[in-house]
């Protein structure tokens, strides 16, 4: 019995087994990223679905600032235009950035609308508006949670494809690093509030 | 034979250690929550009379036995620095694993007396029974007015009663209790990990080498394990021990008497908050 041949065969077997098992690990890790992505899509969709109802409610308030409503409606429309796979996490950083930018615009338009609504006590007192506000806050909170989970799933995956032994196989098997959500550029700047002392509706800051 | 195996094990050992080290490094750090309470209601701010806490604890314990839902209330005087109410509620919920693993049927009520704020946080499984609007209404209509007058015991009792009312029909409690750990075991995970497969092949290789030699010159007087296989066996046993220690299913979950014990549930950030 040729011992050298036996050892070489066994080593080859080890390499193949390691490749197979790290492939399986990478697949499941990649699927966790996709699952987290689907959740992210869910919660963003939930927010988008609230918009028509919210717009309708604030329009009911006497002379509610029109430009704010227009901004929300436009941002909602541009969110719908971003083409993105709902079930598979984006592979390109640019794709994710585009999605995030559109959603960020809707987010800041909505928060501006809530700020403006502070000036309409009659509107704020209606239970319909308060319910919508609670739903919107809950949805923003869910977005933050699911985005955080998505990022940690991506981190887990990205660390994995760069760790031993997967680092030897990941590139060959087509596993590329995936992009993260970045901290929102609008998040650190609070929407500007303008107090109109003259009684005319304030113009929105563009 | 032994001289042929020795360089091999000397070569394999560092690789194994690197693999073990790297897989350990990927565990990520998280902001820590205080250890999970043993009771359903915890008052760290000292604003709720002890008899009220005792009554709520037994009510919630009975409620869990009947419905499977876990409702946990926490009263603190202030939030840890740098966290918001919603963030902290999320961290507590996640770390305390409220509700069952399968259904995440739990609710966390967090009261911060210093900030005069309260949040009801729902697990994934009770978002339907207790939507954000319902949480908001419970806070506005039953908790805020009594909190405003300083009667925390009454406000919390009323809030808990409303949450129980809303969630009682949502799940049937299964007999196994709320703890649902799934079929993955540390041992199974280990066997199918790269390291496990690696070691199996290693041991098979060693045995094959010994048999091959045995055919040629008969069994030697040694009888015991060679240094290579002894090292491999040691690594396997050590590895299994480490895996078992890392497994988190060892805690007694679910049916542990009258206290609270998290069942593995999680929350997606649902719920509402309010202030008074």
Nearest of B195, B194, B196, B202 to residue B229 by alpha carbon: B202
Average pLDDT over residues B169-192: 59
Give the tokens for residue A126: 């209606």
| B78 contacts B109 by C-beta, under 8 angstroms | no
Confidence of residue B250 (pLDDT cuts 50, 70, 90): very low
| A90 contacts A145 by C-beta, under 8 angstroms | no
Determine the Cα–Cα distance for residues A19 and A22; give it in Å rounded to an integer.
5
Determine the Cα–Cα distance for residues A28 and A82; give it in Å rounded to an integer.
28
**What pLDDT shows up at residue B237?**
55
Residue B100 has pLDDT above 90, yes or no: yes
Beta-carbon pairs below 8 A across chains A and B: 97
**pTM, full prediction:** 0.72
As a CATH number, domain B41-173 is 3.10.310.50
Q: Do B269 and A141 touch (CB under 8 A)?
A: yes
Ranges in chain A, pLDDT < 50 = 187-206
Least confident window among A136-145, B43-52, B230-239: B230-239
Residue B179 has pLDDT above 50, yes or no: no
Residue B36 has pLDDT above 50, yes or no: yes
By the CB < 8 Å criterion, does B266 face chain A?
Answer: no
Instruction: Give the dihedral of Cα atoms B232, B233, B236, B241; nearest 10 deg.
Output: -140
**What pLDDT shows up at residue A1?**
62
- Which residues of chain A have a CB within 8 Å of the CB of B216? 1
| B164 contacts B156 by C-beta, under 8 angstroms | no
Packed helices B194-217 and A3-60: angle between N→C axes, nearest 10 degrees = 170
Residue B26 has its nearest CB partner, among A17, A22, A156, at A156
ipTM confidence score: 0.77
**What pLDDT shows up at residue B126?**
95
**What pLDDT shows up at residue A137?**
92
**What pLDDT shows up at residue A171?**
82
Confidence of residue B228 (pLDDT cuts 50, 70, 90): low
Residue B176 has pLDDT above 60, yes or no: no
CB-based burial of residue A52 (10 Å sphere; 0-12 exposed, 13-18 middle, 19+ buried)?
Answer: exposed
CA distance A67 to chain B (A): 28
Nearest of B145, B157, B140 to residue B274 by alpha carbon: B140
Return the H-helix or E-strand segment holding B120.
strand B117-122
**What pLDDT shows up at residue B184?**
53
CA distance B110 to chain A (A): 15
**What pLDDT shows up at residue A38?**
94
**What pLDDT shows up at residue B3?**
45
* B118: β partners: B111, B274
What residue ranges of chain B are covered by domains with CATH 3.10.310.50?
41-173
Kindly provide the b/e burial profile for residues A100-125, where b requires at least 16 CB atoms within 10 angstroms of the residue's own CB: bebbbbbbbbbebbbebbebbeebee
Chain A: residues touching B (Cβ < 8 Å): 1, 3, 6-7, 10, 13-14, 17-18, 21-22, 24-25, 39, 43, 130-131, 134-135, 137-139, 141-146, 152, 155-156, 159-160, 163-165
Pairing between strand B117-122 and B270-275? antiparallel
Q: Which residue of A has its CA nearest to B139?
A: A134
Confidence of residue B223 (pLDDT cuts 50, 70, 90): very low
3-class secondary structure per residue, B16-76? HHHHHHHHHHCCCCCCCCCCCCCCCEEECCCCCCHHHHHHHHHHHHHHHHHHCCEEEEEEE
């Amino acid at each position: 019995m040729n011992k050298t041949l036996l050892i070489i065969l066994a080593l080859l077997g080890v390499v193949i087994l390691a490749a197979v098992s790290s492939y399986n690990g990478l697949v499941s890790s990649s699927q966790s990223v996709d699952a987290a992505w689907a959740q992210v899509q869910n919660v963003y969709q939930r927010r988008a679905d609230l918009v028509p109802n919210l717009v309708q409610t604030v329009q009911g308030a006497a002379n509610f600032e029109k430009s704010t409503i227009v901004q929300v409606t436009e941002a909602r429309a541009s969110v719908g235009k971003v083409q993105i796979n709902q079930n598979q996490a984006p592979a390109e950083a640019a794709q994710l950035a585009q999605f995030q930018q559109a959603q960020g615009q809707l987010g800041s338009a909505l928060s501006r609308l809530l700020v403006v609504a502070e000036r309409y006590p009659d509107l704020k007192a209606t239970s319909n508006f308060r319910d919508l506000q609670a739903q919107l806050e809950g949805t923003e909170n869910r977005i933050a949670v699911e985005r955080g989970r998505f990022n940690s799933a991506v981190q887990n995956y990205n660390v994995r494809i760069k760790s031993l032994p997967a680092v030897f196989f990941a590139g060959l098997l087509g596993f590329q690093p995936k992009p993260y959500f970045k901290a929102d550029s609008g998040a650190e700047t609070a929407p500007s509030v303008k107090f109109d002392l003259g009684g005319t509706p304030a113009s929105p800051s563009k | 034979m032994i001289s042929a195996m020795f360089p091999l094990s000397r070569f394999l050992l560092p690789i194994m250690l690197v693999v073990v080290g790297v897989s350990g490094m990927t565990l990520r750090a998280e902001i820590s929550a205080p250890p999970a309470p043993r009771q359903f209601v915890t008052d760290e701010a000292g604003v709720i009379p002890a008899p009220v806490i005792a009554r709520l604890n037994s009510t919630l314990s009975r409620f869990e036995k009947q419905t499977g839902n876990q409702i946990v209330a926490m009263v603190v005087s202030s939030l840890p620095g740098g966290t918001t109410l919603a963030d902290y509620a999320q961290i507590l919920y996640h770390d305390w694993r409220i509700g069952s693993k399968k259904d995440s049927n739990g609710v966390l009520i967090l009261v911060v007396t210093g900030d005069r704020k309260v949040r009801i946080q729902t697990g994934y499984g009770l978002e339907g029974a207790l939507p954000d609007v319902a949480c908001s209404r419970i806070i506005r209509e039953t908790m805020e007015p009594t909190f405003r007058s300083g009667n925390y015991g009454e406000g919390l009792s009323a809030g808990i009663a409303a949450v129980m009312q809303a969630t009682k029909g949502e799940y049937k409690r299964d007999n196994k209790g709320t703890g649902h750990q799934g079929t993955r075991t540390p041992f199974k995970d280990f066997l199918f990990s790269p390291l496990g497969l690696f070691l199996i092949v290693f041991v098979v290789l060693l045995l094959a080498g010994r048999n091959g030699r045995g055919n040629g010159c008969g069994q030697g007087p040694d009888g015991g394990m060679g240094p290579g296989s002894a090292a491999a066996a040691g690594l396997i046993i050590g590895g299994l021990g480490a895996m078992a220690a890392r497994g988190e299913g060892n805690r007694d979950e679910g049916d542990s008497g009258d206290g609270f014990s998290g069942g593995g549930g999680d929350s997606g950030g649902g719920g509402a908050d309010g202030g008074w």
